[in-house]
Structure 1
Amino acid sequence: MNDMNLQQLVERLSQDHFNKPFFDEAIFNSRLRTTGGRYLPSERRIEINPKYFVELGEKELIGIIKHELCHYHLHIEGKGYRHGDLEFKALLQQTGSPRHCQMLPSARKSFYLYNCLQCGQLYKRKKRINIERYRCSRCKGRIDYANL
């Protein structure tokens, strides 16, 4: 999907779910890291993170677009378009738009799970530890990788 296809999809979703036309620009922005999309009120432009389409598919992309269209249409009408505003929350519910997008599978952090061989205490760590060097903080028993 390219920017032209995205523009057509945004225009179609705006007409279908909001019964209002979308006159401005919608583009992919690959520099977005922590969000699925954003609406820039000063430029009246919607930017979408392309990773969400690649990793989670069209259904998630449509949800993100509908969310950003809620910001867009409320801003144009001069109503409360920010996340905390009641009008924004009401429009999200009316259109079936998600409040937040899912976490990207590529952004999920993996972790290591260890357990004590004597008392069974579990330890969850982001970094690997040397099991020969460290002991259980509860009973001073040996630690090993957890088999879950």
Structure 2
Amino acid sequence: MAKNVAAPKNTGGGGYVFESKVVAWIFACMLARRPFLDIHLGVPVRVEFQTRPDGWFLDDALVTSQSTGATHKFALSVKSNVQFTAASAPTDFVESIWEQWLHIGSQVFNQVNDYLVLVTAPPSEAARQSLEGLSRKLLPADVQTFPTRLDV
């Protein structure tokens, strides 16, 4: 069976261009000695790529930052297209972060100091509102019981 025609973005490296821009921004933060996310999480001091062999399931980039008294690792999955809808999250991302969080197949993630990050195109307004609603419910919740309570 003949293959479908690939989108120009795929064959022209659109995803790589987006990933390069994300990493360039992180390098700029590193050079300027500025935090790339939250000021309390410190300044990036190292960036590694394709870290799946090291046990990181989100492996496009692994950013290490140094803050007062703590080292943080940010495992990044970088996707140039919209990943969330108002009703769903990308299945492969959800599975990867839960497996990483629960130490299924890898022990490298530190639940206290490390972060799992999806860098993506901005979501639709409906998806943004859904994500904000989920965040408001999640932040005060118990991480052990939240997944089972969410369906209820």
Larger radius of gyration: 1
Normalising by structure 2, report the TM-score.
0.25
Normalising by structure 1, report the TM-score.
0.25
